[in-house]
Amino acid sequence: MSNEDRVASEKQLIEEAHARGRGATLKAYARLSGPGWLQSAITLGGGSLASALYLGVLAGYGLLWVQPVAMLLGIIMLSAISYVTLSTGKRPFRAICEHVNPVLGWGWILAVLLANLVWSLPQFSLGTAAITQNLLGGGGGEGAKIASSIGLLVVAAAVIWAYDSGARGLRLFELLLKGMVALVVVCFFGVVVALSINGKLAWGEILRGFNLDLSLIFEPAPVFMPFLEAAGSAREWWTSYIVGQQRDVMIAAAATAVGINMTFLLPYSMLRKGWGKSFRGLATFDLSTGLLIPFFLATGCVVIAASSQFHGKIDQRLIAGEEAAPPRLVKAYEGTLAKRNNAVDAPVAAADRSLAAMLVKRDAFDLAGALEPLTGKGVARVVFGVGVLGMALSTIIILMLISGFTFCEIFNRPATGTFHRMGCLAAGVGVLGPFVWKGDAAFWLAVPTSVFGMVLLPVAYWTFILMMNNRSLLGDEMPRGRARVASNVAMLLAAVIVTPASLYIAYAKAGYFGLGGIAAFVALAVIVGMRRR
Protein backbone atom coordinates (compact mmCIF):
# COMPACT_ATOMS: atom_id res chain seq x y z
CA MET A 1 0.00 0.00 0.00
CA SER A 2 1.36 3.41 -0.96
CA ASN A 3 1.64 6.19 1.60
CA GLU A 4 -1.24 8.09 -0.04
CA ASP A 5 -3.49 5.03 0.08
CA ARG A 6 -2.58 4.42 3.73
CA VAL A 7 -3.43 8.00 4.72
CA ALA A 8 -6.74 7.83 2.82
CA SER A 9 -7.58 4.53 4.54
CA GLU A 10 -6.76 5.96 7.98
CA LYS A 11 -8.83 9.08 7.29
CA GLN A 12 -11.80 6.93 6.28
CA LEU A 13 -11.37 4.80 9.40
CA ILE A 14 -11.51 7.90 11.62
CA GLU A 15 -14.60 9.28 9.85
CA GLU A 16 -16.44 5.95 10.16
CA ALA A 17 -15.46 5.69 13.83
CA HIS A 18 -16.77 9.20 14.51
CA ALA A 19 -20.11 8.14 13.03
CA ARG A 20 -20.30 5.08 15.33
CA GLY A 21 -19.60 6.97 18.57
CA ARG A 22 -16.96 7.61 21.20
CA GLY A 23 -16.02 3.99 21.88
CA ALA A 24 -15.32 3.27 18.22
CA THR A 25 -13.39 6.53 17.92
CA LEU A 26 -11.11 5.72 20.85
CA LYS A 27 -10.51 2.23 19.43
CA ALA A 28 -9.55 3.72 16.06
CA TYR A 29 -7.28 6.27 17.71
CA ALA A 30 -5.51 3.56 19.70
CA ARG A 31 -4.88 1.63 16.50
CA LEU A 32 -3.51 4.62 14.60
CA SER A 33 -1.43 6.30 17.32
CA GLY A 34 2.26 6.79 16.65
CA PRO A 35 3.96 10.20 17.06
CA GLY A 36 3.03 10.37 20.75
CA TRP A 37 4.91 7.13 21.33
CA LEU A 38 7.93 8.61 19.57
CA GLN A 39 7.75 11.43 22.10
CA SER A 40 7.71 8.86 24.91
CA ALA A 41 10.74 7.15 23.43
CA ILE A 42 12.79 10.32 23.67
CA THR A 43 11.47 11.71 26.96
CA LEU A 44 11.98 8.36 28.73
CA GLY A 45 15.74 8.65 28.38
CA GLY A 46 18.77 9.37 30.51
CA GLY A 47 17.65 12.86 31.48
CA SER A 48 14.26 11.76 32.80
CA LEU A 49 15.77 8.74 34.56
CA ALA A 50 18.55 10.78 36.18
CA SER A 51 16.15 13.55 37.20
CA ALA A 52 13.66 11.08 38.70
CA LEU A 53 16.44 9.23 40.50
CA TYR A 54 17.85 12.38 42.10
CA LEU A 55 14.45 13.85 42.87
CA GLY A 56 13.93 10.77 45.02
CA VAL A 57 17.42 10.88 46.56
CA LEU A 58 17.28 14.59 47.45
CA ALA A 59 13.63 15.24 48.24
CA GLY A 60 12.02 11.89 48.88
CA TYR A 61 8.40 11.82 47.79
CA GLY A 62 8.10 15.62 48.15
CA LEU A 63 8.79 16.38 44.47
CA LEU A 64 6.69 13.68 42.83
CA TRP A 65 4.57 16.48 41.37
CA VAL A 66 7.41 18.09 39.38
CA GLN A 67 7.61 15.80 36.36
CA PRO A 68 3.84 15.35 35.78
CA VAL A 69 3.26 19.12 36.00
CA ALA A 70 6.14 19.81 33.62
CA MET A 71 4.78 17.22 31.22
CA LEU A 72 1.28 18.74 31.28
CA LEU A 73 2.75 22.16 30.45
CA GLY A 74 4.78 20.62 27.67
CA ILE A 75 1.75 18.84 26.21
CA ILE A 76 -0.02 22.21 26.02
CA MET A 77 2.74 23.52 23.75
CA LEU A 78 3.03 20.29 21.77
CA SER A 79 -0.72 20.43 21.18
CA ALA A 80 -0.31 23.97 19.86
CA ILE A 81 2.39 23.10 17.32
CA SER A 82 0.50 19.97 16.26
CA TYR A 83 -2.66 22.05 15.71
CA VAL A 84 -0.79 24.55 13.54
CA THR A 85 0.98 21.84 11.57
CA LEU A 86 -2.11 19.71 10.94
CA SER A 87 -4.25 22.75 10.09
CA THR A 88 -1.82 24.19 7.54
CA GLY A 89 0.12 21.17 6.32
CA LYS A 90 3.24 23.37 6.27
CA ARG A 91 6.68 22.44 7.58
CA PRO A 92 6.97 24.41 10.83
CA PHE A 93 10.48 25.80 10.31
CA ARG A 94 9.55 27.24 6.92
CA ALA A 95 6.24 28.52 8.31
CA ILE A 96 7.97 30.34 11.19
CA CYS A 97 10.54 31.97 8.90
CA GLU A 98 7.87 33.08 6.44
CA HIS A 99 4.99 34.11 8.69
CA VAL A 100 6.49 34.85 12.13
CA ASN A 101 10.18 35.75 12.31
CA PRO A 102 13.24 34.15 10.67
CA VAL A 103 15.34 34.82 13.77
CA LEU A 104 12.94 32.71 15.83
CA GLY A 105 12.88 30.03 13.13
CA TRP A 106 16.64 29.74 12.91
CA GLY A 107 17.01 30.10 16.67
CA TRP A 108 14.60 27.20 17.13
CA ILE A 109 16.19 24.83 14.64
CA LEU A 110 19.78 25.58 15.69
CA ALA A 111 18.84 25.17 19.36
CA VAL A 112 17.29 21.79 18.50
CA LEU A 113 20.39 20.72 16.59
CA LEU A 114 22.74 21.80 19.37
CA ALA A 115 20.63 20.21 22.13
CA ASN A 116 20.38 17.03 20.08
CA LEU A 117 24.14 16.64 19.72
CA VAL A 118 24.77 17.43 23.39
CA TRP A 119 22.05 15.07 24.62
CA SER A 120 23.31 12.19 22.49
CA LEU A 121 26.54 11.92 24.54
CA PRO A 122 24.99 10.97 27.91
CA GLN A 123 22.52 8.59 26.22
CA PHE A 124 25.33 6.45 24.82
CA SER A 125 27.11 6.72 28.16
CA LEU A 126 23.94 5.59 29.94
CA GLY A 127 23.30 2.68 27.58
CA THR A 128 26.89 1.49 27.79
CA ALA A 129 26.75 1.69 31.60
CA ALA A 130 23.55 -0.37 31.61
CA ILE A 131 25.20 -3.11 29.54
CA THR A 132 28.58 -3.20 31.28
CA GLN A 133 27.47 -2.56 34.88
CA ASN A 134 24.04 -4.15 35.07
CA LEU A 135 23.86 -6.83 32.39
CA LEU A 136 27.55 -7.85 32.44
CA GLY A 137 28.02 -7.24 36.16
CA GLY A 138 30.93 -4.85 35.67
CA GLY A 139 32.95 -7.30 33.57
CA GLY A 140 34.60 -6.96 30.17
CA GLY A 141 36.71 -3.88 30.85
CA GLU A 142 37.38 -1.27 28.19
CA GLY A 143 36.72 -3.74 25.38
CA ALA A 144 33.15 -4.30 26.60
CA LYS A 145 32.60 -0.55 26.77
CA ILE A 146 33.78 -0.06 23.17
CA ALA A 147 31.73 -3.00 21.87
CA SER A 148 28.61 -1.85 23.75
CA SER A 149 28.83 1.71 22.46
CA ILE A 150 29.33 0.62 18.85
CA GLY A 151 26.57 -1.95 19.21
CA LEU A 152 24.11 0.73 20.33
CA LEU A 153 24.99 2.83 17.28
CA VAL A 154 24.57 -0.11 14.88
CA VAL A 155 21.18 -1.12 16.31
CA ALA A 156 19.92 2.47 16.29
CA ALA A 157 21.06 2.98 12.69
CA ALA A 158 19.31 -0.23 11.62
CA VAL A 159 16.04 0.93 13.16
CA ILE A 160 16.39 4.34 11.47
CA TRP A 161 16.87 2.60 8.13
CA ALA A 162 13.57 0.77 8.73
CA TYR A 163 11.84 4.11 9.43
CA ASP A 164 13.01 5.46 6.08
CA SER A 165 12.04 2.42 4.03
CA GLY A 166 8.40 3.30 3.37
CA ALA A 167 4.98 2.79 4.96
CA ARG A 168 5.69 -0.77 6.17
CA GLY A 169 9.03 0.27 7.66
CA LEU A 170 7.36 3.23 9.38
CA ARG A 171 4.80 0.95 11.00
CA LEU A 172 7.52 -1.48 12.10
CA PHE A 173 9.51 1.43 13.52
CA GLU A 174 6.54 2.61 15.58
CA LEU A 175 5.84 -0.91 16.88
CA LEU A 176 9.48 -1.27 17.97
CA LEU A 177 9.36 2.05 19.81
CA LYS A 178 6.06 1.17 21.49
CA GLY A 179 7.60 -2.10 22.62
CA MET A 180 10.65 -0.34 24.07
CA VAL A 181 8.52 2.19 25.93
CA ALA A 182 6.29 -0.57 27.29
CA LEU A 183 9.38 -2.48 28.41
CA VAL A 184 10.69 0.53 30.32
CA VAL A 185 7.36 1.10 32.06
CA VAL A 186 6.95 -2.58 32.98
CA CYS A 187 10.47 -2.82 34.41
CA PHE A 188 10.17 0.15 36.73
CA PHE A 189 6.55 -0.54 37.61
CA GLY A 190 7.62 -4.03 38.63
CA VAL A 191 10.21 -2.56 40.98
CA VAL A 192 7.56 -0.54 42.81
CA VAL A 193 5.26 -3.55 43.01
CA ALA A 194 8.08 -5.59 44.58
CA LEU A 195 8.80 -2.85 47.11
CA SER A 196 5.12 -2.49 47.95
CA ILE A 197 4.58 -6.21 48.46
CA ASN A 198 7.48 -6.26 50.89
CA GLY A 199 6.06 -3.35 52.89
CA LYS A 200 8.81 -0.91 51.89
CA LEU A 201 6.52 1.91 50.73
CA ALA A 202 4.41 4.45 52.64
CA TRP A 203 1.57 5.12 50.19
CA GLY A 204 0.09 7.95 52.25
CA GLU A 205 3.34 9.91 51.94
CA ILE A 206 3.61 8.99 48.27
CA LEU A 207 0.15 10.42 47.48
CA ARG A 208 0.97 13.62 49.38
CA GLY A 209 4.04 13.98 47.18
CA PHE A 210 1.78 14.89 44.25
CA ASN A 211 0.59 18.04 46.04
CA LEU A 212 2.16 21.17 44.53
CA ASP A 213 4.78 22.33 47.05
CA LEU A 214 7.33 24.99 46.05
CA SER A 215 9.14 25.13 49.40
CA LEU A 216 12.00 22.90 48.23
CA ILE A 217 13.04 25.57 45.74
CA PHE A 218 14.18 27.67 48.70
CA GLU A 219 14.99 25.27 51.54
CA PRO A 220 16.45 21.78 52.01
CA ALA A 221 14.22 18.74 52.38
CA PRO A 222 13.16 18.13 56.03
CA VAL A 223 15.30 14.99 56.35
CA PHE A 224 18.46 17.13 56.26
CA MET A 225 17.39 19.59 58.97
CA PRO A 226 18.69 17.75 62.08
CA PHE A 227 22.11 17.39 60.46
CA LEU A 228 22.16 21.04 59.33
CA GLU A 229 21.40 22.18 62.89
CA ALA A 230 24.40 20.18 64.09
CA ALA A 231 26.71 21.43 61.32
CA GLY A 232 27.73 24.61 63.17
CA SER A 233 29.61 27.12 61.00
CA ALA A 234 29.19 24.87 57.95
CA ARG A 235 25.38 25.05 58.08
CA GLU A 236 25.08 27.95 55.64
CA TRP A 237 27.32 26.24 53.07
CA TRP A 238 25.48 22.92 53.32
CA THR A 239 22.10 24.66 53.03
CA SER A 240 23.19 26.50 49.89
CA TYR A 241 24.70 23.34 48.42
CA ILE A 242 21.62 21.19 49.01
CA VAL A 243 19.17 23.82 47.76
CA GLY A 244 21.30 24.32 44.64
CA GLN A 245 21.24 20.57 43.98
CA GLN A 246 17.46 20.47 44.46
CA ARG A 247 16.93 23.39 42.06
CA ASP A 248 19.16 21.88 39.40
CA VAL A 249 17.34 18.56 39.54
CA MET A 250 13.90 20.20 39.49
CA ILE A 251 14.86 22.26 36.43
CA ALA A 252 16.43 19.23 34.76
CA ALA A 253 13.25 17.25 35.42
CA ALA A 254 11.15 19.99 33.82
CA ALA A 255 13.52 20.32 30.84
CA THR A 256 13.54 16.58 30.11
CA ALA A 257 9.78 16.18 30.42
CA VAL A 258 9.42 18.04 27.11
CA GLY A 259 12.77 19.12 25.68
CA ILE A 260 13.20 21.57 22.84
CA ASN A 261 14.08 18.77 20.42
CA MET A 262 10.72 17.13 21.20
CA THR A 263 8.98 20.28 19.97
CA PHE A 264 10.68 19.70 16.63
CA LEU A 265 10.06 15.96 16.41
CA LEU A 266 6.29 15.99 16.85
CA PRO A 267 5.19 18.13 13.87
CA TYR A 268 7.66 16.53 11.47
CA SER A 269 6.73 13.00 12.49
CA MET A 270 3.07 13.90 11.87
CA LEU A 271 3.87 15.32 8.45
CA ARG A 272 5.93 12.20 7.69
CA LYS A 273 2.82 10.09 8.39
CA GLY A 274 0.73 12.29 6.08
CA TRP A 275 -1.65 13.52 8.79
CA GLY A 276 -3.86 16.57 8.15
CA LYS A 277 -6.89 18.36 9.63
CA SER A 278 -8.88 15.14 10.05
CA PHE A 279 -6.21 13.85 12.44
CA ARG A 280 -6.29 16.68 15.02
CA GLY A 281 -8.39 14.68 17.49
CA LEU A 282 -6.10 11.69 17.04
CA ALA A 283 -3.08 13.93 17.75
CA THR A 284 -4.52 14.97 21.14
CA PHE A 285 -5.35 11.36 22.03
CA ASP A 286 -1.89 10.28 20.91
CA LEU A 287 -0.14 12.78 23.18
CA SER A 288 -2.29 11.80 26.15
CA THR A 289 -1.94 8.03 25.88
CA GLY A 290 1.38 7.62 24.10
CA LEU A 291 3.27 10.32 26.00
CA LEU A 292 1.66 11.36 29.28
CA ILE A 293 0.69 7.95 30.70
CA PRO A 294 3.98 6.07 30.08
CA PHE A 295 6.00 9.07 31.29
CA PHE A 296 3.93 9.43 34.46
CA LEU A 297 4.21 5.73 35.32
CA ALA A 298 7.92 5.29 34.56
CA THR A 299 9.28 8.46 36.17
CA GLY A 300 6.95 8.20 39.16
CA CYS A 301 8.11 4.65 39.83
CA VAL A 302 11.78 5.68 39.68
CA VAL A 303 11.19 8.55 42.14
CA ILE A 304 9.33 6.24 44.51
CA ALA A 305 11.98 3.51 44.36
CA ALA A 306 14.89 5.95 44.76
CA SER A 307 13.21 7.71 47.66
CA SER A 308 12.46 4.49 49.54
CA GLN A 309 16.04 3.26 49.17
CA PHE A 310 18.25 6.38 49.38
CA HIS A 311 16.49 9.47 50.74
CA GLY A 312 18.03 10.35 54.08
CA LYS A 313 19.93 7.05 54.17
CA ILE A 314 23.56 7.12 55.37
CA ASP A 315 25.98 4.56 53.99
CA GLN A 316 28.09 3.89 57.07
CA ARG A 317 30.74 2.19 54.93
CA LEU A 318 31.66 5.62 53.52
CA ILE A 319 31.97 7.26 56.91
CA ALA A 320 33.98 4.36 58.34
CA GLY A 321 36.24 4.18 55.29
CA GLU A 322 35.56 0.49 54.78
CA GLU A 323 37.15 -1.23 51.79
CA ALA A 324 33.76 -2.76 50.91
CA ALA A 325 32.40 0.67 49.93
CA PRO A 326 32.11 1.06 46.12
CA PRO A 327 35.08 3.17 44.87
CA ARG A 328 32.78 5.40 42.81
CA LEU A 329 30.71 6.32 45.87
CA VAL A 330 33.85 6.84 47.94
CA LYS A 331 35.15 9.27 45.33
CA ALA A 332 31.85 11.19 45.32
CA TYR A 333 31.74 11.26 49.12
CA GLU A 334 35.28 12.57 49.42
CA GLY A 335 34.70 15.09 46.64
CA THR A 336 31.73 16.61 48.45
CA LEU A 337 33.72 16.89 51.68
CA ALA A 338 36.57 18.52 49.75
CA LYS A 339 34.18 21.19 48.44
CA ARG A 340 32.97 21.78 51.99
CA ASN A 341 36.53 22.12 53.29
CA ASN A 342 37.44 24.62 50.58
CA ALA A 343 34.50 26.82 51.55
CA VAL A 344 34.40 26.41 55.35
CA ASP A 345 37.35 27.00 57.68
CA ALA A 346 36.36 24.51 60.40
CA PRO A 347 37.14 20.87 61.19
CA VAL A 348 34.94 18.20 59.61
CA ALA A 349 32.33 17.02 62.10
CA ALA A 350 30.03 14.00 62.23
CA ALA A 351 27.18 16.03 60.75
CA ASP A 352 29.35 16.94 57.75
CA ARG A 353 30.17 13.31 57.09
CA SER A 354 26.54 12.27 57.40
CA LEU A 355 25.38 14.95 54.96
CA ALA A 356 28.09 14.04 52.45
CA ALA A 357 27.11 10.37 52.69
CA MET A 358 23.44 11.17 52.04
CA LEU A 359 24.25 13.32 49.01
CA VAL A 360 26.55 11.00 47.03
CA LYS A 361 25.60 10.64 43.38
CA ARG A 362 23.75 7.36 42.85
CA ASP A 363 22.85 5.52 39.68
CA ALA A 364 20.65 2.60 38.62
CA PHE A 365 23.40 0.13 39.55
CA ASP A 366 23.04 1.26 43.17
CA LEU A 367 19.25 1.12 42.96
CA ALA A 368 19.44 -2.41 41.57
CA GLY A 369 21.72 -3.39 44.46
CA ALA A 370 19.21 -2.02 46.94
CA LEU A 371 16.58 -4.42 45.56
CA GLU A 372 18.72 -7.53 45.87
CA PRO A 373 17.22 -8.57 49.25
CA LEU A 374 13.77 -8.46 47.65
CA THR A 375 14.35 -10.05 44.25
CA GLY A 376 17.78 -11.67 44.34
CA LYS A 377 21.00 -10.28 42.93
CA GLY A 378 20.67 -11.53 39.36
CA VAL A 379 17.03 -10.52 38.89
CA ALA A 380 17.53 -7.01 40.29
CA ARG A 381 20.55 -6.35 38.10
CA VAL A 382 18.89 -7.64 34.94
CA VAL A 383 15.59 -5.81 35.52
CA PHE A 384 17.32 -2.49 35.90
CA GLY A 385 19.77 -3.24 33.12
CA VAL A 386 16.98 -3.99 30.64
CA GLY A 387 14.89 -1.00 31.71
CA VAL A 388 17.79 1.46 31.53
CA LEU A 389 19.04 0.01 28.25
CA GLY A 390 15.55 0.39 26.77
CA MET A 391 15.48 4.02 27.89
CA ALA A 392 18.89 4.80 26.40
CA LEU A 393 18.43 2.96 23.11
CA SER A 394 14.98 4.37 22.36
CA THR A 395 16.26 7.89 23.05
CA ILE A 396 19.33 7.40 20.84
CA ILE A 397 17.08 6.28 17.98
CA ILE A 398 14.82 9.31 18.29
CA LEU A 399 17.75 11.74 18.64
CA MET A 400 19.12 10.37 15.39
CA LEU A 401 15.72 10.74 13.75
CA ILE A 402 15.46 14.38 14.87
CA SER A 403 18.95 15.10 13.55
CA GLY A 404 17.84 13.84 10.16
CA PHE A 405 14.82 16.13 10.18
CA THR A 406 16.88 19.19 11.19
CA PHE A 407 19.53 18.62 8.53
CA CYS A 408 16.85 18.24 5.85
CA GLU A 409 15.18 21.47 6.95
CA ILE A 410 18.42 23.46 7.15
CA PHE A 411 19.31 22.46 3.58
CA ASN A 412 15.66 22.49 2.40
CA ARG A 413 15.63 18.86 1.36
CA PRO A 414 12.79 16.29 1.61
CA ALA A 415 12.79 14.45 4.97
CA THR A 416 13.47 11.08 3.40
CA GLY A 417 16.10 9.17 1.49
CA THR A 418 19.88 9.17 1.67
CA PHE A 419 20.24 12.78 2.81
CA HIS A 420 17.87 12.20 5.73
CA ARG A 421 19.74 9.05 6.74
CA MET A 422 23.09 10.83 6.65
CA GLY A 423 21.62 13.60 8.81
CA CYS A 424 20.45 10.96 11.27
CA LEU A 425 23.98 9.63 11.62
CA ALA A 426 25.19 13.06 12.79
CA ALA A 427 23.77 12.27 16.24
CA GLY A 428 25.95 9.17 16.17
CA VAL A 429 28.70 11.41 17.55
CA GLY A 430 27.21 10.38 20.87
CA VAL A 431 29.07 7.08 20.49
CA LEU A 432 32.00 8.96 22.05
CA GLY A 433 29.93 9.64 25.17
CA PRO A 434 31.23 6.76 27.32
CA PHE A 435 34.80 7.93 26.72
CA VAL A 436 34.47 11.73 27.03
CA TRP A 437 31.37 12.01 29.21
CA LYS A 438 32.72 10.68 32.49
CA GLY A 439 32.14 11.45 36.15
CA ASP A 440 31.36 10.08 39.59
CA ALA A 441 28.03 8.72 38.39
CA ALA A 442 27.30 8.49 34.68
CA PHE A 443 23.58 9.09 35.32
CA TRP A 444 24.20 12.45 37.00
CA LEU A 445 25.80 13.80 33.81
CA ALA A 446 22.35 13.83 32.21
CA VAL A 447 21.29 16.48 34.75
CA PRO A 448 23.62 19.33 33.67
CA THR A 449 22.88 18.44 30.04
CA SER A 450 19.17 18.79 30.74
CA VAL A 451 19.71 22.06 32.58
CA PHE A 452 21.36 23.37 29.41
CA GLY A 453 18.27 22.32 27.48
CA MET A 454 16.04 24.42 29.74
CA VAL A 455 17.85 27.60 28.64
CA LEU A 456 16.76 26.92 25.05
CA LEU A 457 13.15 25.81 25.68
CA PRO A 458 11.47 29.28 25.84
CA VAL A 459 12.57 29.90 22.24
CA ALA A 460 10.12 27.23 21.13
CA TYR A 461 7.33 28.13 23.56
CA TRP A 462 7.09 31.83 22.66
CA THR A 463 7.40 31.01 18.96
CA PHE A 464 4.43 28.63 19.15
CA ILE A 465 2.33 31.30 20.88
CA LEU A 466 3.03 33.68 18.00
CA MET A 467 2.15 30.95 15.48
CA MET A 468 -1.20 30.21 17.13
CA ASN A 469 -2.12 33.89 16.85
CA ASN A 470 -0.86 34.48 13.30
CA ARG A 471 -3.75 34.98 10.87
CA SER A 472 -1.55 34.95 7.78
CA LEU A 473 -0.43 31.46 8.73
CA LEU A 474 -3.63 29.89 10.09
CA GLY A 475 -6.26 31.87 8.18
CA ASP A 476 -9.75 30.55 8.93
CA GLU A 477 -8.28 27.79 11.12
CA MET A 478 -7.12 30.25 13.79
CA PRO A 479 -9.06 29.59 17.05
CA ARG A 480 -11.78 32.10 17.88
CA GLY A 481 -13.78 33.18 20.89
CA ARG A 482 -13.48 31.12 24.06
CA ALA A 483 -11.29 28.53 22.36
CA ARG A 484 -8.73 31.20 21.51
CA VAL A 485 -8.80 32.67 25.02
CA ALA A 486 -8.41 29.24 26.62
CA SER A 487 -5.55 28.20 24.35
CA ASN A 488 -3.69 31.47 24.89
CA VAL A 489 -4.10 31.36 28.67
CA ALA A 490 -2.78 27.79 28.76
CA MET A 491 0.17 28.56 26.48
CA LEU A 492 1.09 31.75 28.35
CA LEU A 493 1.00 29.84 31.64
CA ALA A 494 3.50 27.32 30.26
CA ALA A 495 5.77 30.01 28.79
CA VAL A 496 5.65 32.21 31.90
CA ILE A 497 6.69 29.27 34.09
CA VAL A 498 9.50 28.11 31.80
CA THR A 499 11.04 31.52 31.03
CA PRO A 500 12.12 32.50 34.58
CA ALA A 501 13.67 29.07 35.02
CA SER A 502 15.61 29.61 31.80
CA LEU A 503 16.84 33.04 32.92
CA TYR A 504 17.83 31.69 36.33
CA ILE A 505 19.86 28.89 34.77
CA ALA A 506 21.51 31.23 32.27
CA TYR A 507 22.62 33.53 35.08
CA ALA A 508 23.57 30.73 37.50
CA LYS A 509 25.75 28.97 34.95
CA ALA A 510 27.10 31.84 32.81
CA GLY A 511 26.46 35.01 34.82
CA TYR A 512 25.76 38.21 32.92
CA PHE A 513 27.20 36.67 29.74
CA GLY A 514 24.33 34.19 29.75
CA LEU A 515 21.71 36.89 30.26
CA GLY A 516 23.46 39.06 27.67
CA GLY A 517 23.27 36.29 25.10
CA ILE A 518 19.54 35.89 25.67
CA ALA A 519 19.02 39.68 25.50
CA ALA A 520 20.98 39.89 22.23
CA PHE A 521 18.86 37.13 20.68
CA VAL A 522 15.60 38.79 21.73
CA ALA A 523 16.81 42.19 20.47
CA LEU A 524 17.75 40.72 17.08
CA ALA A 525 14.34 39.05 16.78
CA VAL A 526 12.57 42.35 17.60
CA ILE A 527 14.66 44.34 15.12
CA VAL A 528 14.09 41.85 12.30
CA GLY A 529 10.39 41.70 13.11
CA MET A 530 10.04 45.48 13.00
CA ARG A 531 11.94 45.75 9.71
CA ARG A 532 9.72 43.10 8.12
CA ARG A 533 6.61 45.04 9.11
Confidence at residue 140, expressed as pLDDT on a 0 to 100 scale: 65
Q: How far apart are CA 244 and CA 220, in angstroms?
A: 9
Q: Over the range 8-38, which residues count as b (16 or more CB within 10 Å of their CB) and which as e? A: eebbebbeebeeeeeeebeebbeebbbbbbb
Give the pLDDT mean for 485-500.
91
Confidence at residue 96, expressed as pLDDT on a 0 to 100 scale: 92
Phi, psi of 440, rounded to the nearest 5 degrees = -60, -40
- Residue-wise pLDDT tens digits, 329-338: 888 888 889 9
- Does residue 159 have a pLDDT over 70? yes
In a domain, 104, yes or no: yes
Average pLDDT, the chain: 83
Confidence at residue 451, expressed as pLDDT on a 0 to 100 scale: 59
Confidence at residue 228, expressed as pLDDT on a 0 to 100 scale: 93
Q: Look up the domain containing 201 and give its range.
A: 36-250+260-532
Confidence at residue 492, expressed as pLDDT on a 0 to 100 scale: 94
- Does residue 452 have a pLDDT over 70? no
Give the pLDDT mean for 276-294.
84
In a domain, 30, yes or no: no
Length of the chain as a residue count: 533
In a domain, 28, yes or no: no
Percent of the chain past pLDDT 90, that is, above it, reads 14
The Cα-based distances of 530 to 459, 518, 522, 523, 525 in angstroms read: 18, 19, 12, 11, 9
- Residue-wise pLDDT tens digits, 120-145: 887 888 888 888 877 777 666 788 88
- Does residue 270 have a pLDDT over 70? yes
Chain center to CA of 231: 36
Confidence at residue 489, expressed as pLDDT on a 0 to 100 scale: 94
User: CB within 8 A of 457, min separation 6: which ones?
Assistant: 255, 258, 259, 260, 498, 502
Contact status, residue 401 vs residue 420, Cβ threshold 8 Å: no
Confidence at residue 372, expressed as pLDDT on a 0 to 100 scale: 61
- Residue-wise pLDDT tens digits, 106-120: 988 988 888 787 788
Band (pLDDT 50/70/90 cuts) for residue 95 is very high
Q: Ranked by mean pLDDT, which of 60-64, 276-280, 308-312, 416-420 comes out on top?
A: 60-64
In a domain, 23, yes or no: no
Confidence at residue 440, expressed as pLDDT on a 0 to 100 scale: 47
In a domain, 17, yes or no: no
Secondary structure string (H, E, C) spanning 346-405: CCCCHHHHHHHHHCCCCCHHHHHHHCHHHHCHHHHHHHHHHHHHHHHHHHHHHHHHHHHH
Better-scored residue on pLDDT, 253 or 492: 492
> Which DSSP category does 273 fall into?
H
In a domain, 357, yes or no: yes
Task: Single out the residue of 40, 111, 61, 443 nearest to residue 252, CA to CA.
Answer: 443
Three-state DSSP at 209 gives coil
Give the pLDDT mean for 359-385.
68
- Residue-wise pLDDT tens digits, 391-436: 788 888 888 888 998 999 999 888 777 888 888 888 888 888 777 7
- Residue-wise pLDDT tens digits, 41-56: 777 777 777 788 889 8
CATH of the domain at 174: 1.10.4160
Q: Is 139 exposed, middle or buried (0-12, 13-18, 19+ CB in 10 A)?
A: exposed
Number of domains present in the structure of the chain: 1
Q: How far apart are CA 95 and CA 104, in angstroms?
A: 11
Band (pLDDT 50/70/90 cuts) for residue 441 is very low
Confidence at residue 371, expressed as pLDDT on a 0 to 100 scale: 57
- Does residue 177 have a pLDDT over 80? no
- Residue-wise pLDDT tens digits, 468-490: 999 989 988 888 889 899 999 99
Better-scored residue on pLDDT, 467 or 182: 467
Confidence at residue 468, expressed as pLDDT on a 0 to 100 scale: 92
- Residue-wise pLDDT tens digits, 509-524: 777 887 888 888 889 9
Give the pLDDT mean for 13-35.
82
In a domain, 419, yes or no: yes
Give the pLDDT mean for 281-307.
85
In a domain, 112, yes or no: yes
Q: How does DSSP assign 23-77, residue by residue?
A: HHHHHHHHHH--HHHHHHHHHSSHHHHHHHHHHHHHHGGGGTTHHHHHHHHHHHH
